[in-house]
Each structure stands twice: as C-alpha cells, then as structure tokens.
Amino acid sequence: MKFTAFLIKYAEIGIKGRNRHLFEDALIHQMKYALKKCEGKFLIHKTQGRIYVDAEGDFDYDEAVEQLRHVFGISGICPVVYVEDEGFEKLCDTVVSYVADVYPDRHKTFKVHARRARKNYPKESMEINMDLGETLLNAYPEMRVDVHDPDILLNIEIREKIYIYSKTIPGPGGMPVGTGGKAMLLLSGGIDSPVAGYMIAKRGVKIDAVYFHAPPYTSERAKQKVVDLARIVSRYAGPIYLHVINFTDIQLYIYEKCPHEELTIIMRRYMMRIAEHIAKETECLGLITGESIGQVASQTMNSLMATNEVCELPVYRPLIGFDKQEIVEVSEKIGAFETSIQPFEDCCTIFVAKHPVTKPNLNVIRRHERNLDEKIEELVKTALETDELIVVSDF
C-alpha cells in the first residue's frame, strides 16, 4: 500500500487568533522550499485547520520525509493513504491490508478513530469505529482494543476521498522560519556557533551570518569549512547570506598595540562592532553567538560583559547555560559535528595568548583600546569593504 500524502501536525501554542494564518502561510512557504529539493511534484493545501501535502504521481517517500523533518514548525508528519469511497465493505478490506502492510508485527493494541468531514457518509463516526474495530479483530485475533492508550491509533477521515493514517514521524518542532524577524550569526568554524544559529532559527528567526577570515593565518580550507557549516544550518534555516570579512589587518594591529593577554577580548569586541554594523545595514534585529559561560577565558562573565559592552543590538547566546557535551549532542543531531571538528584553524586560535585574562577590567580594556586610535577606524572601514557575500543554500 502506498502513502500518497502527509498530514502535517504543528504545535498550536502561540498561533491562536489573528496570527494563525501568518504562521500557517510561513510554514507552507518553508515546506515548499524544502520539498523543492526532492523528486516528485507536491501540492500543499490547507483544509479546515490542517495542512496536507499531496504527492502527484511518483515521488521518493524517504526523501520527502527527510526534507519535512527539517522544517521548523512541524511537530509531526503523518503519512496518509488516500482511497476512493467505494462503499464500506471496500473500506474494511483496505483497512485490513493497510494494517498488514504497516504493522508486520500485530501483537498490538489499537483504537479506530473515525471523523466525518463529509456528513452525508451513510455511517456515523461511532458506527465506523465499532465496525472497523470488529473487522480488524476478526482479521487479526492477535490484536486487542485499547481505547485509552492504544499502540496504534488508526485514523479514518471521511472526506471527498477517505484518508487513512496511524503513524506520526516526529518533526523538529519550533516555529516556521520567517515568523520571527532576522538576526546576524557570528559563525566560526567551531562546534558552538552553528548550533547557536540552529537554535535561534528554530524559534522562527531568519539567519544571516558573518565570518571573520584572517588570511594567510587562516586558510581557504577554514573558510570553506565555514561555508559548509552554513550550508548545514541552511537545511533548517533556509538560504543564509554569509558575509566574509577580512580581519587580518585589524588582528595584526591589535597584536602590535595591545597587551597580548587582552588580545582575544579586544579582538572579540571588534568582531562584535563589525557584525553589528552589518546587522544594522541588513535589518537584523540582533546578534547571535555560540558563547557559553566559562567555556574559555573569553567567555567568563567578566569577558562576556566586556564583549557585550560594544553592542547596542541584543546579543542572543542560546548556548549560554549548556555544557560542551550538551552542545555536541545537538551538533551531532543536526549533522554539523563531523564538519566542525575538521582541523582547520579559525582566526582566534592563531593569536591566542598563553595566559589570556579571565577577568578583564573594562576600564583597562577601554584604555588599551585607545592605543588603536590612530588607525583603527580606517582599518574597520577597509575591513567592511572586503565584505564578500556568499549566498549559501542547500540546493
């Protein structure tokens, strides 16, 4: 028996009233984008508060499921079999063979749940439940009815056609991308920042990204790795506009003029300033980083305070309370880990001091930054001019 459609379940929370259609339209938009990547033609339609995907003709079932599993806002994907209404007896036969196909092991409890969207169907829902239940018990004596907590909830929807479904494949949850504005992700080649981008996108936020590249200290391979990571995040977040900024001269200048133990903090402050500049120009409503309290010297509370100080936009740090292992788990789940651990230097690791400050004093940092007064404005301007825009998508 072939599945020819999917019923899409989405979380109801936060989408009541006026916002509901915005949520649904954004979800449909993202689903269309995701399904474009797979073979087959799909028609997505809303009917009475439900979203269905109909496959027209042949399609790759596994691939379609895989794509839908990347669409935020979907809480469950139910594969559906459509059958023509050719009388109740025929329906009984179909349901018996559906169960045979979908459940090779039938030592299970079940419940039939019929709904009539078409009221002129000759049987009422309760009657359909009873009669189909009885048919199944006769066909498969190893099955049992459990109306409270069945292993199999067999849904029968009587519409123009009859829809049969019983399985729910979990979706990624969250909110459809595009319902929550846009933010700028500071994306490095590490484990944390792609996970941070994924988590904010999951809340419906569209993602742009900026990567600070420091050739020749960081290689083309390191840059390619960041593009690859952006592509992995874009499987969930949709196309990502990645800005690559040449940061070398700023880094060298800070190295020349400031105490080396403060290098990372001062560098991070310039990254934040530049990222914010691009964010404001591109209508982003905030910045996103992969920082987590205490992970490294530049992420102690004091250091975070120092990097935060230079920004006006809110800085979202979704990993702030995560342990490394918890971050790794998400990284593996989204398929980024293998790429993140490829051994190409990112620009922070080249210039790290042996003993970086862990409790930077803001006044001291500000004073040392003044050593940069002569050239830094010009260097930031030049760096912004190097902005190379790469549109990263999963196509």
CB of residue 393 vs ligand ATP: minimum separation in angstroms? 20
Residue 380 binds which of Mg ion, ligand ATP, none (CB < 5-8 A, kind-dependent): none
**Residues binding ligand ATP: number (CB under 6 A):** 21
Residue 28 binds which of Mg ion, ligand ATP, none (CB < 5-8 A, kind-dependent): none
Residue 276 interacting with ligand ATP (CB under 6 A) = no
Q: Binder to ligand ATP among 132, 304, 336, 347 (CB under 6 A)? A: 347
Comparison of 81 and 187: residue with beta carbon closer to ligand ATP: 187
Q: Binder to Mg ion among 188, 218, 246, 340 (CB under 5 A)? A: 188
Residue 318 interacting with ligand ATP (CB under 6 A) = no
Residue 166 binds which of ligand ATP, Mg ion, none (CB < 5-8 A, kind-dependent): none
- Stretch binding ligand ATP (CB under 6 A), from 113-121, 173-181, 206-214, 357-365: 206-214
Per-residue interface string for the shown chain with ligand ATP, residues 184-203, x marking contact by CB under 6 A: --xxx-xxxx----------
3-state SS string over the chain? CCCCEEEEEECCCCCCHHHHHHHHHHHHHHHHHHHHCCCCEEEEEEECCEEEEEEECCCCHHHHHHHHCCCCCEEEEEEEEEECCCCHHHHHHHHHHHHHHHCCCCCCEEEEEEEECCCCCCCCHHHHHHHHHHHHHHHCCCCEECCCCCCEEEEEEECCCEEEECCCEECCCCECCCCCCEEEEECCCCCHHHHHHHHHHHECCEEEEEEEECCCCCCHHHHHHHHHHHHHHHHHHCCEEEEEEECHHHHHHHHHHCCHHHHHHHHHHHHHHHHHHHHHHCCCCCEECCCCCCCCHHHCHHHHHHHHCCCCCCEECCCCCCCHHHHHHHHHHCCCHHHHCCCCCCHHHHCCCCCCCCCCCHHHHHHHHHHHCCCHHHHHHHHHHCCEEEEECCC
Residue 298 interacting with ligand ATP (CB under 6 A) = yes
Q: Binder to Mg ion among 73, 190, 197, 238 (CB under 5 A)? A: 190
Residue 197 interacting with Mg ion (CB under 5 A) = no
CB of residue 365 vs ligand ATP: minimum separation in angstroms? 16
Comparison of 111 and 206: residue with beta carbon closer to ligand ATP: 206
Comparison of 262 and 346: residue with beta carbon closer to ligand ATP: 346
CA distance to 266, 270, 295, per residue, from 360 (Å): 10, 16, 16
Comparison of 186 and 200: residue with beta carbon closer to ligand ATP: 186
CB of residue 214 vs Mg ion: minimum separation in angstroms? 12
Residue 390 interacting with ligand ATP (CB under 6 A) = no
Instruction: Please report, as ranges, the residues that interact with Mg ion according to CB under 5 A.
Output: 188, 190, 346
Instruction: Please report, as ranges, the residues that interact with ligand ATP according to CB under 6 A.
Output: 186-188, 190-193, 210-212, 271, 289-291, 295-296, 298-299, 346-348
